[in-house]
Amino acid sequence: MSAILARGLTRIYRRSAEEIAALFGVDLIVEPGEFVAITGASGAGKTTLLNLLGCLDRPTSGLLKLLGRDVSALRGKDLETMRRQHVGFVFQDYCLVPTLTVEENVALPLLFSRALHQRDRVRDLLARVDLQHRSDHLPHELSGGEQQRVAIARALVNNPEILLADEPTGNLDSKRGNEIVALLRDMNHTRGLTIVLSTHNLDLANRADRQVKLVDGQVV
> How confident is the model over 50-94, as pLDDT tens digits?
999 999 999 999 999 999 999 987 888 888 889 989 999 999 889
102 assigned to some structural domain: yes
Question: Which residues in 107-122 are b (16+ Cβ under 10 Å) and which e?
Answer: bebbeeeeeeeeeebb
180 assigned to some structural domain: yes
To which H or E segment does residue 124 belong? helix 118-128
- The candidate with the shortest Cα–Cα distance to 68, out of 161, 164, 179, 143, is 161
Query: 45-49, 71-75, 194-198 — which is least confidently predicted?
Result: 71-75
pTM assigned to the model: 0.92
Q: What is the CATH number of the domain that holds 176?
A: 3.40.50.300
140 assigned to some structural domain: yes
Q: What is the pLDDT of residue 115?
A: 59
Q: What is the pLDDT of residue 114?
A: 62
- The candidate with the shortest Cα–Cα distance to 53, out of 155, 197, 200, is 197
23 assigned to some structural domain: no
169 assigned to some structural domain: yes
12 assigned to some structural domain: no
Q: Which domain holds residue 199?
A: 33-59+73-213
5 assigned to some structural domain: no
HSE-up of residue 80 (Cα within 13 Å, Cβ side): 5
Summarize pLDDT for 98-130 with one digit per residue, the tens.
Answer: 999 999 999 998 887 665 568 888 999 999 899
Strand pairing report for 35-39 and 210-215: parallel
Summarize pLDDT for 116-174 with one digit per residue, the tens.
Answer: 568 888 999 999 899 999 999 999 999 999 999 999 999 999 999 999 999 998 888 88
Q: How many domains does the chain have?
A: 1
27 assigned to some structural domain: no
To which H or E segment does residue 190 belong? helix 174-191
